Chain A
Amino acid sequence: MDEREPRRTPIFFMSVIVFMLIMSLAALLLAIEAYLVQGKLEMINIILSASALSLSLYMFIQIRRRPVSLGFEMLKVSTVIRCLKCDYKNVREFEKGDYILRNAGSCPKCGGTLIIYSIFRESKEKD
């Protein structure tokens, strides 16, 4: 099951982008035509074209953003098992039924009692 937000087609934003691109193209064509026919640089059209193009590019990048994670993905959770007598320590993946201070059998090194010492998740988040 996909645990991320389903991607929606932003029709409104796409139509704005297309409109801006057409306007930008038209302004650019007018600027080129004015330069070729009259030999003058039409700064207004050039600026309009550039700004419309950058705005549409910006909007396109915005709607292309990665879908947001909803937090339903499974996290890597580890269980630390320790011996009460010696320094034996074992880290394994969390299993259903694990809880801190649960008896986890006997120590393979000294035969002492093993307990689940801690359960934690590794976090990639920055504080």
Chain B
Amino acid sequence: MESAVDMQVILQVSADWIFQLIWILAFIIIWVYGQRIQTILTLKEIEGSLSRLKYMRDRGRQIAISTIKEIGKPAEDPTARVDRLLEHVDIEPVSLDPTGIIRRLEHIIDVRDFRFKEEVRQMAPQADETQINNIANVLEAALALNHVYKVVRHYYLMGKKTLSFYVILQIQMLLPLIMRESEAFVNALKAFTLGQPIGDGAGALVAARLMHDKEKRLIAQDTVVSETQIEGRRTYVIKAKGPGGNVGKPGEAIKQILEEEEGKVALIIIIDAAQKLEGEKAGDVAEGVGVAIGGPGVDKYKVEEVAAKYKVPLRAILIKESIEDVVSTMRKEIVDGVEEAIERVKRIIRESTNEGDTVIIAGIGNTIGIAQ
């Protein structure tokens, strides 16, 4: 009886030891291979995001093809052309000698824009000008999704090949931002397909409201101007030609008006959407000085140059929005921000100019879904 109890105690103690040994081994494995295990887990996490990006990319491509088929009624299948466009690459001008870089950059942007629209025209022969612009925008969003997917895949595969924790860490740290941006492009696809106004068009909407029912003329490529009276001042209101997806050439338009007026302009007011900081509310309006024109900098440069030449004061009105809002269908808060921006434009004109003065107002942004 006693030996049976002894035997049970011995068994219990040995099981205990074996079990403790398993735990100790587990800790040693984690200690020695911890980083390797973490690398594998991080790769798994990136793989999950990559599969989501792939799905977004594929759906984007599918939406682009079906939109072209639906609107453009092409005689032949546009798939091959779309695939070719999705691999489109832009090569920036050389910056070793910066002299004339803006002119060269503008030329490249113009050529790209022309090529894109020309391709769309050939793919969608039945589409009108507005639809061509919208399809071009759809393709831009699909192209962006394809590019993001390929860059993330590149780092994922490189990390997998080298098992370098630091290569993988770089992409893992950026993934939340990349995913947010990609989701924004997915929203853009929907808005562009349906021709809905997007957050970026806030500035264009301010201009559209101010020039509604007034006579307009084309002043630069895809850009219209209207001469009107606001608060007793002679006012030129500029915006991209809508309702197709266009940003126009506001820089060129402002330059031309200033040259026409021989610099006799009391004030330039530029209204644009601006990226809000976390914690700020979408649709909040802020004021400042300077040229509120985003993008590659060509238009901004032109306005700065001509305004400095004639010493014309530059005022900016910014409508705050998040990166997701910029390319997705306009939020109610941004529409409310537009109303406030109009009031601010009028207040600035009253406070900073005299009756009879000439003022230029430019509403910047993609004018999809916004006419004039």
Contacts and interface: CB of A to CB of B under 8 A. Distances in A.
Contacts of A70: 52, 55-56, 59, 183, 186
A100 B208 contact: yes
A66 interface: no
B371 interface: yes
Interface in A19-70: 23, 26-27, 30, 33-34, 37-38, 42, 44-45, 48, 68, 70
B194 A99 contact: no
A31 B362 CA distance: 77
Given A48-B23, A70-B183, A77-B329, A100 B243 contact: yes
A71 B186 contact: yes
B168 to A, nearest CB: 17
A87 interface: no
Interface residues of B, number: 48
Interface string B50-65: 0110011001000000
A26 B369 CA distance: 65
Contacts of A75: 187, 190, 329
Given A37-B12, A70-B52, A77-B329, A26 B19 contact: yes
B186 A99 contact: no
B113 interface: no
A98 B195 CA distance: 8
A30 B242 CA distance: 76
Contacts, number: 113
B330 A97 contact: no
B289 interface: no
B59 A72 contact: yes
A118 B279 CA distance: 26
Contacts of A33: 12
Q: Chain B interface mostly helix, strand, loop or mixed?
A: helix
B154 interface: no
Interface string B174-202: 00000000010011001000111100000
Given A5-B55, A8-B48, A101 B329 contact: no
B343 interface: no
B344 interface: no
A109 interface: no
Contact of A99 (B19, B51, B371): B371
Contacts of A127: 276, 279-282, 322
B292 to A, nearest CB: 21
Nearest to B276: A127
Interface in B1-39: 8-9, 12, 15-16, 19-20, 22-23
Given A12-B44, A23-B22, A97-B195, A119 B369 contact: yes
A102 B243 contact: yes
B8 A37 contact: yes
Contacts of B212: 101, 115
A120 B205 contact: no
B335 A120 contact: yes
B197 A99 contact: yes
Interface of B: 8-9, 12, 15-16, 19-20, 22-23, 44, 48, 51-52, 55-56, 59, 183, 186-187, 190, 194-197, 205, 208, 212, 242-243, 276, 279-282, 322, 324, 328-335, 369-372
